[in-house]
Every structure is written in structure tokens, then in C-alpha cells.
């Protein structure tokens, strides 16, 4: 019998919310195995209510919970198994910290993102801009196959040879086509990395950003870096810079330009297991991070974008701006090879606020015009306009055809529904 948690159940408070939102679903169905997922979906469909799919519950768009609808929570499908050599199979409910810890003794790692609390299901169906991204590509670039329960309740395997069209769509717009119950990846043989943390005081945010952009774009591709900027009267930034490998001499050379940038107030670098890189709290979800984000991708941190980012931070409408490196191996993949089609940009720029949403949207607008597409996993909004920015026209046309074939009744309308038209 399916495990269904409804209001009044003592377990309900621990499953109703997600990280960025509170929710009050009518039922949370928790399959214990992939075999139970078709039954869970049939039950959810019979209710004729909104259906949310949840893996780790860390979705930025907050739609892995709802009000009055049904949630299918895949948290129990969290195994990490080695298949052979570098090939592993991972459940959608695993968290990236758990994945990294399980892969380390195997001498393997998969680049995911900075948060170890993020679930495999949400990230591996959209992209995965991680701290080894310039060296290894996106997380989805390592996906070799996925098992999916489609809208009609069938379980299908998608890979380059099985339903290649579905496999293409899953890698960037996965939430549109079904419920992924397992992911197979070819992991990388990079269990250890050199991780540096550098803090900067930023009297001149715009000038710093241009220099940061140049240093990053000219760094060897073993280097990936995420920069977190805080505004206010004395703006500052903290960077996490990762050299994907254990060659400490090469790492020292590669990291040196980052500590030669102006304003360094603290620095530290060490050889660490990659498993310690994704930060984790393992906290129960209570909607604790009630933040909204706006995001965009950019080729370069050019003077206009750097100045606009400085103005945004100075104005106070954003609590933080995060600038993640893309580029490198991410851009080796042809734009039409996966539904994630942004293969020429070098940076992902995301602003976050817990404050006034309208003021934040106004303050973000000047940056939006300087951006070239969005990575959907960093955007809170998911209206038609956002869908158009997440997928270039040719990609979107192909996704809409796929949607008609695999989900003609529009069961899966969460997370950037490609059917939405402006
Ligand atoms: C603190 C924080 C840090 C982050 N850092 C990064 C980062 O560095 N790099 C990066 O790339 N991303 C990052 N993200 C974004 C993250 O990748 C997405 O929010 C992702 O969707 C979260 O996955 P989840 O499984 O936890 O989400 P959930 O909330 O469980 O799911 C989000 C959505 O994904 C879809 N989905 C989930 N599971 C499945 C499934 N099994 N099959 C089909 N569709 C599914 C559903 O539509 C769901 O609404 C970060 C997010 C947070 C909150």
C-alpha cells in the first residue's frame, strides 16, 4: 500500500514544506521504490488536483509543494550504486552531499553545485552548474541514461539509444516529460580537489567584477569559481575557487591570479576530498529560505554588466548577487545536443532577495537587458516569458513537440512548462 501523508498525520509538518516556500498539500505520496511511482502518479491523477514532483525540495521556483494539491515525494529513492568502472546509478531523492560522499571511496565525483542539500532530481533534469563545471561540464553532460515514469504511467528508459528524443529533452527541461526515478551517470575520476576561499573588500564593485571576469575567463579550465557579493555601505565578496585535481603545484599557479586581485582580506587553500565541497545542513524544510531570485547568463562581465551589478548591490533591493562560472567544458557541448542550450556564456549571474519583490524586479530589469538567456534552476519566476528566455526558439519548438508526444494532457506543468505561450 502506498504511503500517503495527509494533514493531521504526525509526519505531515515534516513533508508539507520545501526550502524556499511553505505549503499545505492535500496529500504527500511517498513511493518507497521506483516500482511504486506509477501507482503514485495514478492516484495523484485521479484526484484532478495540481501535482508537484519533489526530489530534494530545494527548487528555487518553490513548486515542489503546493496548496490543496498532491505532492509525489521521491525522497526515499536515494540510493547511489556503482554499476561498473565510472558508471553509477543514483536515485532522484539523493542529495548531492550524499552522492559526493558515496562516490569518494570509489575514487569518483560528479560536479553538481555549491549546495549539498540540493536534490539529484531537480538539478539533474535542468543542468547543474557546479564547482568543477569548467573542467567537467554540466551535471547533465555526464548523464548516460534515465528511467522515467511518463504521464500515462509507463516506465521507459531514455538514453542515446532508447528514446533519444526524450533523453535530449530530459537534459534541460526534464520536469516537463515525466518523473525520473533513476539517473545513470559516467562520473569523473577526480575524488580530490584544491579548494580556495578568498574574501575581498570591494570599494569599486564594477572595477572588481571586470577584473574577476577576465581572471576567470583566462584561467585554465581546471578552475571553476563562484563569487558571492554583498552590498551595503562596505560591499564585500567571498569566492569559492576550485581546481579540479590534486596537482597542488599546478593549482597554486592557477589560483594565484585570484589572490592578486585587489581587496583581498582573507585567503585559504587546501587539498580536500571533493565530497567536502558541497555545503550541507541536512535541515528539515520549513520554508526557511523565503527568498526570490532573478537570474541571467552572460558571455562576459563587461563594463555595462559590471556597472549594472554594482548599482543593483548599492540600491539595496538585492541581498546578494551570486556569479557562477560556466564556460570551459560546458561550452564544448553543441547547443543542440541537450535541451539546456546555453553553450557560449561564461557566467551565470543571480540576484537574491528576501525583501520587497516588486522593488527587486524593478532593480533587476536593467541587468535583464544585458543578459543572454537564463538557467531555469536559478529563476523564481516561471511564466511564459521566462520559458522563452530559458530556451532559444529552436529548442523550445522541439520541446513543445516532445511535450505533445510524451505529456499530451499536460500532467507535468511544474518548473518551466514549455507549453506556455506569451
Ligand atoms: C541553496 C541552493 C543552492 C543552489 N546551488 C546550485 C548550484 O550551484 N548549481 C546549480 O546548478 N543549481 C543550484 N541550485 C538550484 C537547484 O539545482 C535547483 O533548485 C533544483 O531544482 C533543486 O533540486 P531538488 O531536487 O532539491 O528540487 P525539488 O524542489 O525537489 O524539485 C524542483 C523541481 O524539479 C522538478 N523535479 C524534481 N525531481 C524530479 C524528478 N525526479 N523528475 C522530474 N522532475 C523533477 C519538479 O518540477 C520540481 O518542482 C541551488 C538551489 C539552492 C536552493
Residue 33 CB neighbours (<10 A): 11
Q: Which helix (H) or strand (E) holds 353?
A: strand 347-353
Helices (H) and strands (E) in the chain, counts: 11, 16
In order of their start, the domains of the chain are 4-73 (3.30.43.10), 80-189 (3.30.465.10), 192-385 (3.40.462.20)
Distance 55 CA to ligand 1 centre (A): 8
* Local confidence pLDDT in tens for the 422 residues of the chain: 999 999 999 999 999 999 999 999 999 999 999 999 999 999 999 988 999 999 999 999 888 999 999 999 999 999 999 999 999 999 999 999 999 999 999 999 999 999 999 999 999 999 999 999 999 999 999 999 999 999 999 999 999 999 999 999 999 999 999 999 999 999 999 999 999 999 999 999 999 999 999 999 999 999 999 999 998 889 999 999 999 999 999 999 999 999 999 999 999 999 999 999 999 998 999 999 889 999 999 999 999 999 999 999 999 999 999 999 999 999 999 999 999 999 999 999 999 999 999 999 999 999 999 999 999 999 999 999 999 999 999 999 999 999 999 999 999 998 899 999 87
Please report which residue ranges of 21-106 form alpha helices under DSSP H: 37-47, 96-103
Distance, CA 200 to ligand 1 centroid (Å)?
A: 29
User: CB of 173 closer than 6 A to ligand 1?
Assistant: no
Residue nearest to ligand 1 atom 32, measured at CA? 59
Closest ligand 1 atom, residue 74 Cα: 41
- Closest residue by CA, ligand 1 atom 39: 121
What is each CA distance from 16 to 13, 42, 68, 365, 414, in whole angstroms? 6, 20, 11, 33, 17
CA 376 to centroid of ligand 1, rounded, Å: 10
Instruction: In whole angstroms, give the CA distance from residue 347 to residue 405.
Output: 34
| Half-sphere exposure in the Cβ direction for 397 (13 Å, CA) | 3
C-alpha count within 13 angstroms, C-beta hemisphere, residue 363? 26
Show the CA angle centred on residue 172, arms to residues 169 and 178, nearest 5°.
55
Q: How far is the CA of 378 from the centre of ligand 1 (A)?
A: 9
Cα angle 258-307-127, degrees, rounded to a multiple of 5: 65
Q: Is the CB of 30 under 6 A from ligand 1?
A: no
Q: What is the spatial order of strands in the sheet that 70-73 belongs to?
A: 4-5, 27-29, 70-73, 51-54
Closest ligand 1 atom to the C-alpha of 19?
53
Look at the pTM and tell me if it is higher than 0.85.
yes
Amino acid at each position: 500500500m502506498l504511503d500517503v501523508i495527509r494533514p493531521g498525520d504526525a509526519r505531515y509538518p515534516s513533508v508539507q514544506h520545501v526550502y524556499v516556500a511553505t505549503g499545505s498539500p492535500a496529500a504527500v505520496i511517498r513511493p518507497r521504490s521506483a516500482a511504486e511511482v506509477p501507482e503514485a502518479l495514478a492516484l495523484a491523477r485521479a484526484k484532478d488536483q495540481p501535482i508537484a514532483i519533489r526530489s530534494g525540495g530545494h527548487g528555487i521556483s518553490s513548486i515542489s509543494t503546493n496548496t490543496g494539491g498532491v505532492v509525489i515525494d521521491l525522497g526515499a529513492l536515494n540510493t547511489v550504486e556503482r554499476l561498473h568502472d565510472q558508471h553509477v546509478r543514483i536515485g532522484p531523492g539523493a542529495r548531492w552531499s550524499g552522492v559526493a560522499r558515496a562516490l569518494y571511496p570509489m575514487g569518483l565525483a560528479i560536479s553538481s553545485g555549491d549546495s549539498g542539500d540540493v536534490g539529484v532530481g531537480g538539478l539533474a533534469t535542468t543542468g547543474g552548474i557546479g564547482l568543477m563545471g569548467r573542467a567537467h561540464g554540466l551535471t547533465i553532460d555526464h548523464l548516460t541514461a534515465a528511467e522515467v515514469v511518463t504521464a500515462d504511467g509507463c516506465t521507459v528508459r531514455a538514453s542515446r539509444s532508447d528514446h533519444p528524443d526524450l533523453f535530449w529533452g530530459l537534459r534541460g527541461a526534464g520536469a516537463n516529460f515525466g518523473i525520473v526515478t533513476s539517473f545513470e551517470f559516467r562520473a569523473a575520476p577526480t575524488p580530490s580537489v584544491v579548494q580556495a576561499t578568498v574574501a575581498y573588500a570591494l570599494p569599486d564593485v564594477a572595477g572588481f567584477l571586470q577584473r574577476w571576469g577576465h581572471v576567470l575567463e583566462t584561467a585554465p579550465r581546471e578552475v571553476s569559481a563562484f563569487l558571492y557579493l554583498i552590498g551595503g555601505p562596505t560591499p564585500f565578496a567571498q569566492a569559492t575557487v576550485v581546481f579540479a585535481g590534486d596537482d597542488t603545484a599546478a593549482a597554486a599557479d592557477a589560483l594565484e591570479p585570484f589572490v592578486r586581485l585587489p581587496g583581498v582580506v582573507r585567503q585559504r587553500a587546501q587539498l580536500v576530498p571533493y565530497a567536502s565541497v558541497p555545503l550541507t545542513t541536512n535541515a528539515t524544510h520549513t520554508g526557511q529560505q523565503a527568498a526570490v531570485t532573478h537570474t541571467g547568463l552572460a558571455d562576459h562581465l563587461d563594463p555595462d554588466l559590471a556597472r549594472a551589478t554594482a548599482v543593483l548591490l548599492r540600491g539595496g533591493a538585492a541581498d546578494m548577487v551570486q556569479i557562477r562560472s560556466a564556460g570551459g567544458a560546458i561550452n564544448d557541448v553543441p547547443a543542440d545536443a541537450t535541451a539546456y542550450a546555453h553553450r557560449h556564456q561564461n557566467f551565470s549571474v543571480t540576484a537574491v532577495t528576501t525583501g520587497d519583490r516588486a522593488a527587486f524586479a524593478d532593480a533587476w530589469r536593467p541587468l535583464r537587458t544585458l543578459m543572454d538567456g537564463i538557467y531555469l534552476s536559478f529563476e523564481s519566476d516561471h511564466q511564459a516569458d521566462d520559458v522563452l528566455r530559458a530556451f532559444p526558439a529552436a529548442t523550445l519548438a522541439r520541446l513543445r513537440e516532445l511535450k505533445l508526444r510524451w505529456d499530451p494532457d499536460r500532467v507535468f506543468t511544474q518548473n518551466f512548462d514549455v507549453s506556455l505561450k506569451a
